[in-house]
Each structure stands twice: as structure tokens, then as C-alpha cells.
């Protein structure tokens, strides 16, 4: 990235700065008219800024999970404006240790069912019938994205989760079409029932995985408390 004819500010890491030292992001926003955020999925970044009340406008997100360094450089070369001054490369580090499973809520998808808040035993969420907030993000435990697996609308995102999925910020797939308008013949009924069975099996597997992840997180917490 140092070959780019534009200023590059490397943040370690963006999740930490969104919680602590928000003024650094505000300074970047006010200093530059156009910004490119080289990070993970746009859905994760957009909602992380919104959740932490960070005013960041006129920016695009380049996903380094799906793009190579060469692809990112090529994209920036095409979009950046000529810079008459010498480009600046700066590294900023934040001492805040953010869990890899730090949760972000996709407000557009959240239906305020409260399943995540009821499932979580670490006090990460504050829930009411009309709102859901991440009030203690640092209470979230590594290797425990369990609450996200219980979310019926894929509204919970873990930007640092090392997988490329809706849980880490990829856009959820389109909802399955309703079946009410389909013909009710014998073949359709058989296939529909088969699909319901498969979905129930999948749901049960996901819930079991979530329970296992929560249990392991609790055991790890107890183990550390004894040390």
C-alpha cells in the first residue's frame, strides 16, 4: 500500500478504535473528503460505525477477505484523486484488547426478538421490546459467537470472526419464497415436508453448536477465575 499516491493510515485495530479513541476516526473523517476503508465486509463496517455513533461519511469499503492486495491496489489506483503532496504512511496502535467475537448489530435486520440477549450470559446486550443495544462488547468471549447462531434474521455480526459467512458480515441470502401460492399436489407436499425436515435438522444442529460454544466460554471463564 505504500506505493499508492494517497495517504494511508493503518489502524491496529479498527474495532478497538471504534470503541476507544473515536476521536481518531473523527479526525480522519474531517481531514479527508473521500475515504477507503480496507477491512472486512461492508455490512460489518457500516453497522460498526453506526453502532458506535461514529460519523464517517463518503467512504467505500474494500473487503480484504475477498480481494487480494493487488486487486485492492488496482481498485484504489482507479479511484483515488491525484495528490500534489507527498503521500503519508502512518501506523496507529490502540492498546485496547478487543475480543475476536466482538458483536455488531445489523439494525435493518434486527426484529427485536431478544433471543441473543436471553441466550448470552455475559451481559453483552441490553434488550427491550423496542431496542437492542451492545452495552458491554468487551464482555463477549472468544470462540463464543453462540448468540449470533440463535439470531433468526442473521442480524448479529462478528467482524473479526475468521470465516466468510453471514455471521462475519457477508450479506444473508435471499429469503426462501413462500409456498402458499404453489400447487398442493402430492409431489409438492412431499418435497416441502422433506425441506422442512432438513431445515429443522439444520436448526437443531446450529442450536447445539451455540450451546456448546456458550458452555465452553463459561468453562474458560471459570478456569481463569481460579488462576
At residue 49, what are phi and psi to the nearest 5 degrees?
-60, -45
Higher-pLDDT residue of 11 and 194 is 11
3-state secondary structure at position 37: strand
| 74-88, 106-120, 160-174: least confidently modelled range | 74-88
Say yes or no to pLDDT of 174 above 70: no
- Read off the pLDDT of each residue in 85-111 and give the average, rounded to a whole number: 85
Integer angstrom CA distances of residue 126 from 111, 117, 131, 155: 14, 7, 8, 15
Over range 15-24, report the average pLDDT: 91
The arrangement of secondary structure in 104-226, i.e. its CATH architecture, is 2-Layer Sandwich (3.30)
Phi then psi dihedrals of residue 81, to 5 deg = -85, 150
Residue 26: is the preceding peptide bond cis (ω within 30°)? no
pLDDT, one tens digit per residue, over 6-16 is: 889 999 889 88
* Domain residue ranges in the chain: 8-93, 104-226
Q: Mean pLDDT of all residues in the chain?
A: 80
pLDDT tens digits for range 51-61: 999 999 999 99
Answer with the residue of higher pLDDT: 116 or 218.
116
Q: Is the pLDDT of residue 170 over 90?
A: yes
182: phi then psi, degrees, rounded to nearest 5? -80, 155
Find the mean pLDDT for residues 16-39.
Answer: 93
CA atoms within 13 A on the CB side of 137: 25
User: Would the pLDDT of 197 be above 60?
Assistant: no
Q: What is the C-alpha to C-alpha distance for residues 67 and 19, in angstroms, rounded to an integer?
A: 26
**Would you say residue 93 has pLDDT above 60?**
yes
Burial of 24 (0-12, 13-18, 19+ CB in 10 A): middle
Predicted local distance difference test score (pLDDT) of residue 11: 94
Amino acid at each position: 500500500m505504500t506505493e499508492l499516491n494517497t495517504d494511508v493510515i493503518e489502524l491496529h485495530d479498527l474495532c478497538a478504535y471504534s470503541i476507544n479513541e473515536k476521536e481518531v476516526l473523527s479526525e480522519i473523517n474531517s481531514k479527508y473528503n473521500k475515504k477507503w476503508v480496507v477491512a472486512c465486509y461492508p455490512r460489518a463496517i457500516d453497522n460498526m460505525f453506526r453502532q458506535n455513533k461514529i460519523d464517517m461519511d463518503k467512504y467505500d469499503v474494500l473487503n480484504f477477505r475477498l480481494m487480494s492486495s493487488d486487486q485492492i491496489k488496482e481498485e484504489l489506483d482507479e479511484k483515488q484523486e491525484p495528490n500534489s503532496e507527498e503521500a503519508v504512511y502512518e501506523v496507529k496502535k490502540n492498546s485496547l484488547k478487543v475480543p475476536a467475537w466482538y458483536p455488531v448489530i445489523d439494525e435493518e435486520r434486527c426484529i427485536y426478538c431478544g433471543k441473543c440477549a436471553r441466550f448470552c450470559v455475559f451481559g453483552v446486550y441490553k434488550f427491550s421490546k423496542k431496542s437492542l443495544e451492545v452495552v458491554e462488547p468487551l464482555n463477549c468471549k472468544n470462540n463464543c459467537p453462540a448468540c449470533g447462531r440463535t439470531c433468526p434474521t442473521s442480524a448479529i455480526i462478528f467482524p473479526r470472526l475468521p470465516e466468510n459467512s453471514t455471521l462475519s458480515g457477508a450479506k444473508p441470502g435471499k429469503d426462501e419464497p413462500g409456498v402458499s401460492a404453489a400447487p398442493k399436489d402430492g409431489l409438492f407436499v412431499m418435497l416441502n415436508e422433506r425441506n422442512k425436515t432438513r431445515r429443522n435438522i439444520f436448526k437443531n444442529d446450529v442450536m447445539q453448536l451455540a450451546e456448546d460454544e456458550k458452555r465452553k466460554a463459561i468453562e474458560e471463564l471459570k478456569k481463569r477465575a481460579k488462576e
